[in-house]
Each structure stands twice: as C-alpha cells, then as structure tokens.
Amino acid sequence: MVAILHEGKTDKAFFNNLFQTYNLDVNEDKVKYYNFEGIDNIFQIGHSHYDEIESDNIVSKILIVIDADNNYKGHQQKLEELIENLDFKSINIDFFIMSDEFQKGNLESFLLSVLDDEQKNCIKNFRKCYRYELNDKWTYNTFYKQKKHPFDFNHKNFDILKQKLQNLFN
C-alpha cells in the first residue's frame, strides 16, 4: 500500500482526478490518504499519523505533498530533514511541493500555472485594476472552481508530479 500525506481536505479529490487522468489503477486497497490539516502538522515528527504508518506496517511508499507558501526552499529543506528523522527503514518516501513556475504559492497557484497565456493575461489584467489583493486561492475559487476540469493535467508543469505518482504505484 502507498500513502499520500497532504495538508488539506481538497487534496484527496485533486489526486483522485489525477489518477483518472493518468489512467493509474488506484483504489482504496492501494492508497491511503493522511490529511494532516495544515503544513505545520506535516513537519511534526511526533504526529500521530507517522506513528500509525509505522505501527501498521502496511505502507511501502509515501508521497508527501505540501504547498510552497512562498517558502519553497525552506519547505524543501524541512521535508528532507523530516524524511531523514522519520527513519522508516522499509518505506520509500518522496515529496512534491505545490507551486507555480516561480516556486511560489499553493495548489491553486500550481493549477493556475497551467492556464494558457490568454487566461493568465486576463487574470493579470483583472488583478491590476482591482483595488484589493487577489491571491491565487481567491482567483481559483472565483473563476475556475465551478468548472469540473478546466486544467490541462498533461501540461508540462505536471510532468514531475505525474512521474512521482507513476513511481508511487509501480
């Protein structure tokens, strides 16, 4: 069994959509999701989810997925330290940090990064004339959430994540 460790409640649906898109044969017998309810909890080596994974002894691979939150390098370092400190002997652990092409943001930033240039320019222009800060979560929820799959999951920005998911289930 593989485990996907994530920050929030929407991540599971996101990954289930990706599994369908990439034709990965994934069911509840193959993957277990662990919602840590925030990035700070993922970095807590004493979190009960880590204890559960270790004691159950059924997980062979883990993918940890977090948002960059404008601290890509810092989060990358923390994840590397976490993986070393967890010291799971027989579990292969990898990670992916959600961000735009500038290594900033979150899941919504990652999704918005695959829009075509016309859509990106439209958002950029709207943000310029609007008087309030419009972060990527707001933009995604306002303009794209209502569409079922407006994003190209085969865009090059998904290549690394796609490869990590394929490795996870091989």
Out of 3-17, 37-51, 149-163, the most confident range is: 37-51
pLDDT of residue 146: 67
Which residues are 135's β-sheet partners? Answer: none
Q: What is the model's pTM?
A: 0.90
Domains of the chain: 2-115+152-168 (3.40.50.960)
Grouping H, G, I as helix, E, B as strand and the rest as coil, residue 69 is: coil
- Report the C-alpha gap between 107 and 126 in whole angstroms: 21
Residues 86/116, Cβ–Cβ less than 8 Å: no
